[in-house]
A and B are shown apart, each in its own frame.
Chain A
Amino acid sequence: MAAPQAATPQTTVPVLEVEDLRTVFLTDAGPVHAVDGVSFSLGPGETLGIVGESGSGKSVTALSLLRLLQEPARIVGGSIRFQGREVLAMSPRELRDWRGDRAAMVFQDPMTGLNPVKRILGQVTEHIVSHGRMPPKPARRRGIELLRRMGVAAPERAAAAFPHEFSGGMRQRVMMAIGLANDPALLIADEPTTALDVTIQAQILDLLRGLNQEFGTAIVLISHDLGVIGSVCRRVAVMYAGEVVEEAPTADVLEDPRHPYAWALVNAVPRLEAPAGARLTAIEGTPPDPLNPLPGCRFAPRCPFRIARCDTEHPPLMEVAPGRRARCWVTADGRSLPRPTVPATAERRAPATGEAPLLQATGLEKKFVLPRKSLFAQPAMVHAVNGVDLVLRRGESLGVVGESGCGKSTLARLLTRLHAPTAGRITFEGQDITTATPAALRSLRPRLQMVFQDPYASLNPRMTVGQILAEPLLAHRRAPSRAAAAERVASLLDTVGLKPAFATRFPHEFSGGQRQRISIARALALEPAVVVADEPVSALDVNVQAQVLNLMLSLRERLGLSYLFIAHDLAVVRAFCDRVAVMYLGRIVEEGPADEVITRPLHPYTVALTSAIPEPGRQRVLLGGEPPSTLRLPQGCAFRARCPVAQDVCATLPPLAEVAPGHRLACHFPGALAPLPRQERLP
C-alpha cells in the first residue's frame, strides 16, 4: 500500500483550524475536562488521525467539531474555524445548513446508525434534498450512484431495502454514502471500523483512502488503533487525558515516537514480525482522575522516562523536530526515546508431544436450532461448528483465530462442555467427556477452566470480588475454612497483580482490565491444567491488553498452564501462542506452529487475514465479499466464494491434511496465493 499523499500544498485556507478547544462534562463531582486545549489544523484534502485510549477525549473532540454534543457536555472555550468561518459562533440554523453539507461525520456503530424503519435510499438522499442541493428525483439517482461508488452490491436493489437486510460492513458503506452525499470538504470518521472484522475493516479503510484521493475530501479519522490510522492518515495527533501529547506524520510516530505515551501505544501493540513469545511493552497504572488534574505532566505517574521537572511543570506542545510537536520535557531537546528492551522470555518448554493430549476434540459438530418464527415455519438451523479436530498438549498454548461467526466461541463452549456437541468426541485428560453427566463434569471442572470475553458480564454484579473468588474454593472444599479461603483469595489477587484489599469491593468499581484480571484469578482459583480463554483481551484498550497478555504469559510459565486461546486478532495470537488454528465457517482451514502459519501462510484465507492487519508497510490482499451465512452450509470449500484462486475442484470439500510436520491445511491449492512482500519504509 502506498502512503497516502497530501492532495494540495498548505497554501490555501485550511479546511479546519482548531485552537485551544475545551469541552467539559458537568457532573455532580465537578466539571470533567474531557477535551482540554486541543489545537490542530487540517488543509484541504489532508488526512489527520486522532488516536488514544478510551477516555482520552478523542471521540468527544470529534463530536465537538460538529457541535453534536449533548448535555451535560459543553464546549467552554477555544475556536473551531471551518474554511475561515467560526463554527462556535454559528446560529442553530447556520449550523444545520453547514452540517451534512460541507462537513459530515461517520460514526462507530453501523448497526445502530441507520434508522431501522426507513429505506436505505431515503436515508442517503434526505439531506441532499433538505440542503437544497437537488430535487428529490435527481437526488435519488445520485444516491444510487453514491451507493455504487461505496461498493454496495446491486445498488438499485439495496436502495429499496431496509438496514436490517445488510451486514455491518455494507451498512458502514451506506453510512459513508450518507456522509459524502453532499460532497463535503471535511469528513470526520469516529472509529468507523472498530465494530467490523479485519477483512471487512481492510475494505472500508481502502474505501476511505480512495475517497480522499478521488474527491479531495479532508478526513479526520478517530481510532484507538495506530495501525488503522497509519493506513489512511498522513498525520496523527495522539491524545491523552484530554490533551494532544504528540502531533506528527504518522510514519514518524510509528517509527520514532517522541512522547512516552505514544511510545507506549506503539509498543503495546503486538506486531506480526516481532519475535515469537516476546513480551509486550505495557505501562502500568491508569489515566489520571479527570476531576483532579495533575500540576505537572499528566502522563508523569505512568511514565518510564520521567524526570523531576515532569511532576511540577505542565509541558506545552513544543516543536521537537521539523513538523513534529510533542508535549514532553524529556524529548523537548529533540532526542528520541529508546527502543523498548524486549524482556527476555524464559525458554519455552517444548510441548510434550509424546504425552497423551490434555484436551482433544474429534469431528466436533454443533448445530443450534433457532426458535421457530411461527407455529408452521420450518425451524432454522445455525451450523456453528462443522467438524473440528483439535489437540491441546500439556504446557502448550493453542490459538484459535477467525472472524465473527466462524464458530470459535461455540468451540470454546463445547470444549468446556457448556454446550453439548451435536456430533464428535471430546476427551480431557484421557477421559471421554462428550456425554458426561453434569455431576461427572463437576468433578473435572477444576482442571478445565474458562476466561470469558466480556469483563462486565462475566462477574456476578451482586457479589464482592472476595465472594466471587472464594466461592469455587468453598464449593470444592479446597479451603478448610472461610479464613483459609480469604487467605487464598488474597494470594490469588496478588498473583494477578491486584491489591488483596480489593476483595471487599464489587465488580462495577473496577476498570475493564482489572475485571479481566479478576476473571483470570477466578479461573486460577482451582489450579486448573487447561484454561480456555474466549477473546479475553478484545474488549480492552491496547495498553491494558498488553498488561493482561503479559500476565497470562507469566502465569503460564509459573503455573505450567495450557491455554486454548480464542481470538480474532492474529497479531495477538502470534504474540501469545505456540500453535494456531484458523477457523472459517465452523471448520479449521489451517493449523500449525504460530510462526510458520503467520509468516508463511498456505491457505488463501490465512493469507488474506494476515495481510488485512493494519500495520504500516503491509500490502493487502483485499478479499471481496463477506463470509457466507451459517444458516446454510455451502457445498465444498466454504471459502470458495471469496477465494481469489478458487477453481472447480473447490466444490469438493478439501480434507484437513498434514503438509509439513505439525502443519495441517484444508485447501486444494496450498500456497497458490502468496502473501505480498512487505513494503519498505514509507516515502
Chain B
Amino acid sequence: MAVTVKLPVQLRPAAGGAAEAKVQGATVGEALESLFAAHPELRERIADGDGSLRRFVNVYVGGEDIRYLEGTSTPIADGAELTILPAVAGG
C-alpha cells in the first residue's frame, strides 16, 4: 500500500527538508517503519527507546487521531494520508 506521510516543520530537517514522504505499509506502524527506513533520523525524534510513539507526538489517519482508532495497528488503505503533528498546540 502506498501511503503519504505529511511531516511537520519540526521534522523536515531530519527528512532532507521534505514536507511529505511516500511510504509503504498496511498499518500505521508499518508505514512509520517504512518512513524510518527512508529517513533513519526520524526514528529517535518521534519514537521512544521501546519503539512506541513519544507522548507528545500525535499521528492522524485521514484527520482522525490514531488513539481513537487502533493506535499503530490501525489499518490504512492504499493512497491514505498520514499526518504527524506535535501534541502541544491549543488551549
B partners with A: no
Residues of A within 8 A of B (CB): none
